[in-house]
A and B are shown apart, each in its own frame.
Chain A
Amino acid sequence: MARFVVRRLFSMLLVLFAVSVLTFLIFNVIPNGDPAVRMAGKQPNEEQIEAIRKEWGFDENIVVQYGTTMEKLFTGDMISYFTQLDVVDEIIKGIPRTLSLAVGAAIIWMAFGVGLGLYTAMRAGKVSDTFLTVLALIGISMPVFWIGALMNHYLGFELGIFPNGGYVEFTENPADWFYHLILPWTALSILFIGVYSRVLRSNVLDTINEDYVRTARAKGLSERRVLIKHVLRNSLIPVVTLWGLDFAVVIGGGAILTETVFNLQGVGQYAADAIGQLDVPPILAVTMFGAFFVVVVNAFVDIAYAALDPRIRLESGSSAA
Chain B
Amino acid sequence: MSQTAILSVEDLRVRFQTEDGSVQAVSGVSFDVRRGEVLAIVGESGCGKSVTAMSLMGLTRGPNAEITGRATLDGTELIGAGDTELQRIRGNTMAMVFQDPMSSMNPVYKVGDQIVEQIQAHRDVSDADAQEQAVELLDAVGIPGAAERVESFPHEFSGGMRQRAMIAMGLSTEPDLLIADEPTTALDVTIQAQIMRLLRRLNEERGLSTILITHDLGVVADIADRVLVMYAGEIVESGTLDQIFYDPQHPYTWGLLGSVMRLDRPRSERLAQIKGQPPSLLRPPEGCKFRPRCPHAFEKCVQHPVLEARGGDPAHLDRCWLDAERKRAVRTTATGEIGLEAA
Taking beta carbons and an 8 Å cutoff, which residues of A are in contact with B?
210-212, 214-223, 225, 229-230, 233-234, 237, 308-311
Contacts and interface: CB of A to CB of B under 8 A. Distances in A.
B104 A215 contact: yes
A233 B108 contact: yes
B117 A215 contact: no
A210 B95 CA distance: 19
B98 A215 contact: yes
Nearest to B91: A220
B157 interface: no
A219 B90 contact: yes
A212 B104 contact: yes
B125 interface: no
Interface string B154-174: 010000000000100100000
B155 A221 contact: no
Contact of A220 (B105, B106, B118): B118
A216 B108 CA distance: 13
B106 A230 contact: yes
A311 B103 contact: no
Contact of B117 (A217, A221, A308): A221
B193 interface: no
B57 A212 contact: no
Interface string B82-108: 010001111110011010100111111
B31 interface: no
A310 B153 contact: yes
Contacts of B91: 218-221
B282 interface: no
A214 B59 contact: yes
A172 B65 CA distance: 61
B169 A212 contact: no
A220 B83 contact: no
19 contacts: A211-B103, A212-B103, A212-B104, A212-B105, A215-B106, A218-B90, A218-B96, A219-B118, A219-B121, A223-B87, A230-B106, A234-B106, A234-B108, A309-B107, A310-B107, A310-B108, A310-B153, A310-B155, A311-B155
A311 B153 CA distance: 8
Interface of B: 57, 59, 83, 87-92, 95-96, 98, 100, 103-108, 117-118, 121-122, 153, 155, 166, 169
B53 to A, nearest CB: 10
A219 B117 contact: yes
Contact of A309 (B89, B108, B121): B108
Contact of A212 (B95, B96, B106, B155): B106
B148 to A, nearest CB: 16
Contacts of B92: 220
Interface centre among B88, B118, B153 (most CB of A within 10 A): B118
A217 B94 CA distance: 12
Contacts of B103: 210-212
A203 to B, nearest CB: 14
A311 B107 contact: yes
Contact of A308 (B57, B98, B108): B108
Nearest to B120: A221
A215 to B, nearest CB: 5
Q: Give the top 9 A-B pairs by smallest Cβ distance, nearest first.
A: A220-B91, A219-B91, A211-B103, A219-B118, A212-B106, A220-B90, A211-B104, A310-B153, A218-B96
B71 to A, nearest CB: 16
Nearest to B173: A220
Contacts of B153: 310-311
Nearest to B155: A311
Interface centre among B117, B122, B153, B155 (most CB of A within 10 A): B117
Contacts of B108: 233-234, 237, 308-310
Nearest to A215: B104
A205 to B, nearest CB: 14
A222 B121 CA distance: 8
Given A215-B166, A222-B121, 13 more contacts: A212-B106, A214-B98, A215-B98, A219-B90, A219-B91, A221-B117, A222-B87, A223-B87, A225-B121, A229-B117, A230-B106, A310-B108, A311-B155
A223 B104 contact: no
A311 B152 CA distance: 11
A237 B95 CA distance: 30
A218 B173 CA distance: 12
